[in-house]
Chain A
């Protein structure tokens, strides 16, 4: 919905802005900053989830049936190097994650996913799809920055590795034929979806540990 998008864009901008060190108007102390940032990161993942639904719909229609059929569930061919880090993890393992590990997993995953999506953007056929992909990548970049901001404000070091995409496609071997590439694209979108679901839970958990002390900013965002 248009109003939903306005809210989302506003939240996204706030998230990006909040990660700038000098923002006197907000008067953030270390922990207050983290609280707001976590809420905004959470909001961003929800907004991206919504955006992904539209993007995935368009992209899967471009791939054609059976990829756009609701019950499509092809085999996932294991490759030498896993293409994207999997979001699904043992529940006890997930519960036991430290804040640092939790945030780092999210940061690494989305940095990687962003790289793959950008490669996709270069190859895809229709102008409409390229436009949607570009928009989504911009929002996803905002999410990566937002997570980085949360980590910095809590005093955690950012994980090493490609936050920006390397010159060529990342290390994973390219699919050997067009059909397998379609399958890779399908699983990329699925993994993105799963990560966004998982991140919402991750940030909800983090929210409880670092509550947002400045509530007014969030209310203003909702009233927009």
Chain B
């Protein structure tokens, strides 16, 4: 049954909603309102639902009971610890929220990047401990060096919890000062100032239209083609690219670094009859002739292709080093060889088709790290 109390508060707690440093002590008092027929001995305390020992109580007056709390731990929840004064039958007379924690530490590791020179996203890390037990507010501020006005970033959490996005009104060719302020009930901490020019931290979208294809019948080569990211086409910059590729069942990527600014490349020295995954990324360096490196884009989505394999007679075993040599595959190859010999017109059936099916299977299952898994 819900009880409805009269308009006056039954009791008053002091201090009401205090903020305290971890490890500090507190004496709180509960004073019953004169309208209520309760005495100090009719009262008890709970903290976060747990009854506090009577040994820590003291009656300070006929209707005032105090409790002593020593060496407080950090608040159990950010909304504050619930210290409650009860009447003997368990009813709640009053409550006070205790905010116990630490002042914030200086935020660190501020890194920023600009997508296509249009905006700026920065992320940072909280100071060393991180856990202050109190709700901590982070504000990213920036200003053009030598121009007075501070600006505040508004769009938070765009790239993780500790990040902010500045969408517009950014000037190029001018240094910016950027810093992060952390504040909570116990104080404020300001990070070191980072200075940068937007042009130094430009990144772009990954290259588009990545195509990987065979080079005729060459067993150990694949040709990779892609397009330069369209967003930067109006800006004077030189892109440089990087390619990485790996064999289907491996998680070890090989990187091709000296691609320069062409939009095609031939991979050589590959294993015949093997499925490869290929990715490309772009670095818009030397924007407006600055000679500075930009920030690498994300890798493009993986594109798959397989190197050709010359036809073998049925029953031939496979001496190639590192060839995937599971029982199933061996039997399949033998079967396909036999089919070719004995069933004219089935020339499309072969281990090539099996390879393509494997590629499709990998793409749809994304079982990149499961080496040697049987489909």
Give the interface of A toward B (CB within 8 A): 61-67, 69, 73-80, 125-127, 177-180, 182-183
Contacts and interface: CB of A to CB of B under 8 A. Distances in A.
8 closest cross-chain pairs (CB), A and B: A65-B49, A179-B95, A64-B77, A66-B49, A178-B97, A178-B17, A75-B5, A65-B48
Interface string B70-101: 00000011111110100000011011110000
A61 B2 CA distance: 22
Contacts of A127: 157, 161
A125 B80 CA distance: 11
Interface in B1-57: 2-7, 9-10, 13, 16-17, 46, 48-50
Given A77-B9, A177-B17, A182-B97, A62 B3 contact: no
Given A179-B95, A179-B96, A63 B16 contact: no
Contacts of B48: 64-66
Contacts of A75: 2-5, 10, 91-92
Given A65-B49, A125-B135, A127-B161, A177 B16 contact: yes
Contacts of B17: 177-179
A125 B3 contact: no
A83 to B, nearest CB: 13
Q: Which of A65, A73, A179 gathers most chain B CB within 10 Å?
A: A179
Nearest to B10: A75
Nearest to B2: A76
Contact of B4 (A61, A64, A78, A182): A78
A173 to B, nearest CB: 12
A4 B223 CA distance: 48
6 contacts: A75-B2, A75-B3, A77-B9, A78-B7, A125-B135, A179-B82
Q: Which of A61, A64, A74 gathers most chain B CB within 10 Å?
A: A64
Contacts, number: 79
A85 to B, nearest CB: 16
Contacts of B95: 179-180, 182-183
B78 A62 contact: yes
A125 B76 CA distance: 14
A65 B81 CA distance: 8
Contacts of A62: 77-79
B49 A76 contact: no
Nearest to B5: A75
Contacts of A78: 4-7
A178 B4 contact: no
B94 A64 contact: no
A66 B79 CA distance: 13
B108 to A, nearest CB: 21
Nearest to B81: A64
Nearest to B96: A179
A31 to B, nearest CB: 41
Contacts of A182: 79, 82, 95, 97
B78 A125 contact: yes
A59 to B, nearest CB: 10
A193 to B, nearest CB: 14
Interface in B176-195: none
Contacts of B91: 75
A64 B2 contact: no
Contacts of B92: 74-75
Contact of A63 (B6, B79, B135): B79
A130 B78 CA distance: 14
Nearest to A67: B82
Contacts of B6: 78
Contact of B77 (A63, A74, A179): A63
A177 B98 CA distance: 12
B77 A66 contact: no
A64 B161 CA distance: 23
A179 B13 CA distance: 10
Contacts of A66: 46, 48-49, 82, 84
Contacts of B80: 64, 178
A64 B18 CA distance: 17
Nearest to A59: B79
Q: Which of A73, A80, A183 gathers most chain B CB within 10 Å?
A: A73
B116 to A, nearest CB: 28
B94 A179 contact: yes
Contacts of B157: 127
Contacts of B4: 75-76, 78
Contacts of B96: 177-179
B82 A65 contact: yes
Contacts of B49: 65-66, 69
Given A62-B77, A66-B48, A78-B7, 11 more contacts: A63-B77, A75-B2, A75-B3, A75-B10, A125-B79, A177-B17, A177-B96, A179-B13, A179-B82, A179-B96, A179-B97
Contact of B2 (A73, A179, A180): A73
